Structure 1
Amino acid sequence: MYQSAARKNPIEPVELFSRQALSWSPELGRILNENGQDALENSRIVSRALEENGAVYLLSCPVGSRDRYRGCLSFVILPGKQPIESFLAVIQLLAVILSSFLDKLESITGVDGEKLLQLTIAVAGIIGHRGRKEAYLYFNEQLRSWAGCDMVAVGSLNDSGQVVLKSLSDVTSVDSRTERSRILMKGLSECVIHQHVDTDSGEGNPVFQEMLHVFSQKHACGLALVNGEGVRRGAVVFFWDGKKKDMRFTDTIRASGQILASALLALENRKGMSGGIIRLNRLRRLKTGAMVAVMAILLGLFSLLPVPFRIHANCSVLPVYKRFVVAGFDGILKQALVQPGDRVQQGQVMAKLDGRETALLKGSLEAERQKALKTRDHHLATGDTAATQIAQLEVLRLEKQIDLLREREHHLVLTSPIDGIVLAGDMMRIQGSPVNKGKVLFEVAPLNKMIVELGVAEENIGYISRGMSVKIRFEAFRNQAWQGEVQRIKPEAEIRNNRNVFLVELEFDNLDDRLRPGMKGKANVEGGKKPLAWIVFRKPWYTFLQLIDSLW
């Protein structure tokens, strides 16, 4: 529990108790609050046993210096065989760290440090809620209580970069299909785009004005939730129906972005935690200290057990290379002889272009060439040297044009450049239509070897190296697994489905033609063996580090 010592605009005490602690006394919050008040009034650490359970101790330590106490940090603990003095030393250290943290926040102009601390402790209570829906309702209610507003809307960004409404005050189940929900999502999107939107600042945002009208509110303040790395996680909008908020609290809301972003990330990463909580509760029911010690030792040994570390990634099938058959000049498609799926040999005719116009033009130029030759011979006979040279140049010009038309006639028949399969180019449906120069008519690729491309998430690329074993199952052949090795890792990341991924490639022989370009599947890369505890807790640990970074 943390309680403020401020006499002007004091904040309400913030508490975070486990279920086990609440079972020790039904009025634990009131008792711990009184213990903290005693510590503040006497300017000293107060330690006493709980009346209902003598094995439980209440510890309260003032935060700050003697001439200016900011508040009091209180704990309820079950020390067991450990001396109470060791816990007192730890609590004093925490109080010093907390005081330093508040001093740092106070140096930021317009920011209420104790308000931010109250928010941090309040949202930390989401860890006590098993379900994501229950946790979001708790998160929303804590924000409304903290801001003293009438309504709060919270949204998060999905994989496609769109804002999804997650919770709304006094609404147990949010339906994103309703008109009111769509208006809120538009407002949350405005916050993500503009970082901060406030109807009191005179900006006159039309989307926010529409929200105020629909929900019959007078003031609104929206904030984009950005973590310490600059990544947008979502947005939150506070609504007031009555009294206008002061500007200092508006600045405090702006400063709370990283804290709320970390809490939102924790809400979105709650999969798979229920089973662990249930197992922990079962362990707590063990009454004998010997059994608890044995279980702790076994759990520690089990957590150090090396198990295979597998990196999961989506994958797709690509040909090793492609060749394109294109129109070399503007013309008419006379006939298409192949279609997608046909197997072709190198040099096989795939399509023909209409050559009648070319033949007519060539005949016309041949006639002009003969005329130019006669003119040249006439001037040569009369001894007119200048006219003879001009006529000779005209003959050369016509011969070059005739050579160009002959080359065009040579390309009226389009052939396959390689042995392979026609992947694209259904030209039979448009026979007789004009085609432009450079238009791709067919795509041909050999399918005897295929490339499987894996999209490995950025946070996992550091664990990938060449030669690692890969197991793949394709959607088309779920009962069969393909085994291979990592052959290439592209050095530059790409955006796939709004995620930053690195492309990893491996090749497979495809002599039976089962693999086709565009097939999708799931891949598991064998990353060696790691301790079980590292595999299970690495992501929660990184989330915790982000929360710490956002606070400091």
Structure 2
Amino acid sequence: MSEMVDKEQVVMTADAGKPDVEAHQLLWSSLDATQSPEQFYRSWLELLSVMGGRKDRQLLLVGRGADDRYLPLAVWPEEEAPSEQLAEAVEQAVEENCGLVLDIDELGHRYAVAYPVHVDNSLKYVVAADIVATSDSVLTRAMERLQWGSSWLEVLLRRMTVDANRREIERMTLATDLLSQVLDEQEFEPAAMTLVTELAHQMSCERVSLGLLKGDDVRVEALSHSAQFGKKMNLIRSIEAAMDEAILQNCSLVYPDAENAESTLICREHETLATDFGAGAIMTVPLFNGEHYYGAITLERDADSPFTAEEKAVCQQLAALAGAALREKWLNDRPLWIKIKDAALLQFQRMFGPKYVLRKIVATSLVFLTLCTLFLQGDYRLSADTILEGSVQRMVVAPFNGYIAETGARAGDVVNENDLLCRLDDRDLRLERMNWLSQKSQLQKQRQDALAKHDRAQVNILGAQLAQAEAQLELIATNLARTMLVAPYRGLVTSGDLSQRLGGSVQQGEMLFEVAPLDQYRVILKVDERRIADVENGQEGVLVLTSLPEKSFDFEVAKITPITTTEEGNNYFRVEAKLLASEMSLRPGMEGVGKIMIDRRNLFGIWTRDLREWLTLWFWSWWP
């Protein structure tokens, strides 16, 4: 209320005890025209008193603060302090959360009436009245009057909430607009100039300065309406001192701070800046990134326009949004060597400073393990993929052109010596044999007739034909015996499956089966070309097969072939080794991993060899 209504303006009629109409209307107008909550509370209590016919000895309004404590907001009459009886009634109303009436003086008919005011199911206010009541009806009307008047408090609270939300929206709109202008700039310097110039325009300031913390001191980086300025100017030094003052106290500083005159904050440098350079009103807002302060913004304007708490909140919000974006641009614009230096310094501070316990434990463990590997020796073993092969591979081929009549084994079967592998169809051979037997019998008869006739020439011719027939019969007998393809020794059929080719034809020399012995194997290791120089004949190693992971087999390197093979983009040398001990569970074709024992070396050198060799090759390829 711009002017408090003089209590004497409300004149009670002597006979009716009712308020004067004009004064009553003046109180309503004053209540509606209040500019602050404090004025509203005082006018509201005075209006309640008038509504009760000025019969209240005292009225008290208590409100709930941000820390959930209840504090007195207004008292009527203003010149009096709240009575103990009203304070007790308020406390009891808060505890019981309901309206109540307490006796103050039964003989004098004094009572304390208290009523709690709820807004959105939350207790916000308690209003209490010290009244004189000669009947219960007077107490009832007093309670109804307090209850009726509480709606005005709810309206005030909601209006204050709406105003606060509106101001918050305005601050956010201003902050986002300024942030968008800062983000539009690609580099730090134009972005900083945009920030301070727009702040000077929005806040009606004569000068706005932006400073960033470099080492232990703040350095001014941008000045509104000034593209260039001397770093050693007295004005700049004074602004930097004011920024340091705000950062050291970890809060925003306003000079002069009329709204918080009892503040214990130190504003000596701000006072010096205002006195020496004519800036009557100064405000400095530190920039904070969540871990530490990294700069500040100082605003200056005439003494006739001191900074308010609302403007302070606006500037803090602007600094929180736009300042963070500006800092990212400043970090990105730094030279590479400065980025590396700052990153190393940050990690050093985290390592040897407070907090970051897990990081320290991990780093200490890594250092300890590294030192251990530098002094400890270990076995250097070369790992390679391996495959198990038979030391001898015997092929069983078709002896002549023919057809498959029977099969006795296929790949994966274990066979003994002379076990049937397959049989070729011999019907054509048997018919041919009968043909040659008949020819032989006929030739023998003709030869006997020639001998009887003493025809020597004919005898010689028939003797030669008879020898030819006998040779053919021997060949047919041999081929008949070769139709039975048998295993050359006890072993494993590693390839060949004719069960799906019964009746099919085979060509002479076609491979039908491969048989490997069960007690003679060789290990084939695929050694990476980068490690082949470490391998020598006679070195020993250990083999673990995928199918028998619980067992290991010793071997000895026997032969290093000088020819490479390529698999999956890598080059490998074929290294042959012989098993030092065999086992019945081994089978040709088994795969696993073999490790060749090279020598004993430093553990650090063993574990980092691949990395060191890669770095050496990389540096050599790029070195001019």
TM-score (norm 2): 0.39
Specify which structure has the bigger relative contact order, considering alpha-carbon pairs within 8 angstroms and separated by 6 or more residues: 1
How high is the TM-score relative to the length of structure 1?
0.44
Give the structure with higher Rg (CA): 2
